[in-house]
Amino acid sequence: MTQRRNKMNIKIYISFLAIIASLQLNAQQLLTKQEALQIALENNYGIKLAKNRVEIAKNNSSIYNSRFLPILNTTAGANYDISDQEIEKQDGSLLIVNGAETETYNAALNLNYTLFDGLGRKYIYKQLKETYNLTELEARETIENTYLQVFNLYFQIARLSENTENLKEISAISNQRLLRAQYQYEYGQSTKLELLNAEVDVNNDSIRLINANQQFNTAKRNLNIILGKQQNINYTVDTEVNFSTLLSFEELLANATKNNVTLKQNEKNITISKFGIKASKSSYLPSIGLTSSYRWNKSKNPSTSFFANSINTGLRAGINLSWNIFDGGNTKTRVANAKIGLENQEIIQEQQIETLKNTLKNTWEAYHNQLYVLNAQKLNVITTKNNFDRTQERYKLGQVTSIEFRQAQINLLNTKTAVNNAKYDAKLIELELLQLSGQLLDVDF
């Protein structure tokens, strides 16, 4: 009776797993690579911050922040004065007024404009323009890094998805073996040890499957963080991987030297440093400014004043020149330091070019090695699958032990897992190559 109950429980367990797997497959929606990238571009926190920094740099590089425009302001005021006055006239008589009131009003429109400042504002304005371009490149780098983060997690989910399917397949085979061992034990065709071994293997496969599902869900939640959008993790991903037809190493290196975002950033830093030297040198030259104002003044005087009321209006204009002939060596120091800063940027550029060449070469070799591993592992899967099929047939005939059958089963699982790992590792290395050569954002995924 107990054996029959165990056999029924095994059948129910297998049927339950099949139903759950079917329901999960039907309920899940596909999240494509393009959709994941689009969501990240719209919602990723790092990209949002980078876009805001670009807007700030754009505002800073506008004509309104260049000192090329004049400054126009207006002033106005009113004053009231009350006092007791005692005035002695030329004939010796006194004029005494208590509570003498004086009222004055004024308004002015002032214009100030720098005609020439030694060309300093010209080069500072160019610096701001290049700083804006540099910020755009920094935003591009942020987007590229986000692309890689998205694909790392996307392919991790795809990898775990395929590995989980392999585990389900292995688990189903183990459950079939357990059911077979149960029948054989009932009819006295095998020992209790065979049944116990089958139960242990089913439990181990179940544990592997549970852990794989946990890792699968964790990877989805991690992807949600990069996407910047909390969404239901009940989705599937595209497990198909297409490899690009990459150029030769020489062509990749040429593209990298021309388009690599890190090198282009340093090129902008060099240009900014050159403009900084010229802006510093502007202090050697004089500055010429134009001032102009239109003024209105009105006063209401007490009886002690010669005029009862007066109104003045008029235009005033002037030009001034300022030349700091010697500033204690401050300008000389700034120019010298700016030149050293430029030299440092050029040194960094040389270092980055050499580092890029080395990194590109290493990544190129790793990519081709990984493709070789992928092809070799595909052949291993064919071999281990044939070996497993033959072992399974012999196991059914009682020609091999359960240990030998289990080993063939594990070998098949390991080679399938190795193929998945090699496939996604090769694709991620390919994406690194595309980033190094400045082509990552141009690829159609």
CATH assignment of the domain containing 386: 1.20.1600.10
Q: 185 and 273 share a domain?
A: yes
Closest CA to 300 of 142, 123, 82, 125: 82
Which of 335 and 94 is assigned the larger pLDDT? Answer: 335
411: containing domain: 2-67+119-284+328-442
Distances (CA, A) of 348 to 353, 355, 356: 9, 10, 12
Name the region of 118 (left: φ>0; alpha: ψ -120 to 50; beta: rest). Answer: left
CA 181 distance to own-chain centroid:
55
Q: 139 and 199 share a domain?
A: yes
CA distance 84 to 125: 58
Q: 136 and 99 share a domain?
A: no
User: For 11-20, 61-70, 231-240, 273-282, which range has the lowest pLDDT when averaged over its residues?
Assistant: 11-20
Across 25-43, average pLDDT: 84
Q: 243 and 101 share a domain?
A: no
81-86-87-92 Cα dihedral, nearest 10 degrees: 170
pLDDT reading at 213 higher than 80: yes
Q: 296 and 349 share a domain?
A: no
Distances (CA, A) of 82 to 79, 101, 299: 10, 4, 14
Spatial CB neighbours of 205, under 8 Å, sequence gap ≥ 6: 167, 170, 171, 174
User: For 47-56, 89-98, 290-299, which range has the lowest pLDDT when averaged over its residues?
Assistant: 89-98
> Among residues 267, 301, 322, which one ends one of the domains?
322
pLDDT reading at 92 higher than 70: no
How many domains does the chain fold into?
Answer: 2
Average pLDDT in the chain: 88
pTM of the predicted protein model: 0.83
Task: Work out the burial of residue 228: count CB atoms within 10 Å of its CB; fewer than 13 is exposed, 13-18 middle, 19 or more buried.
Answer: middle
Tokens of 226: 């990069």
Q: 126 and 230 share a domain?
A: yes
Distances (CA, A) of 133 to 208, 265, 338: 51, 9, 20
Across 364-376, average pLDDT: 96
Name the phi and psi angles at 291, rounded to 5: -125, 145
pLDDT at residue 16, rounded to an integer:
44
Strand partners of residue 105: 78, 298
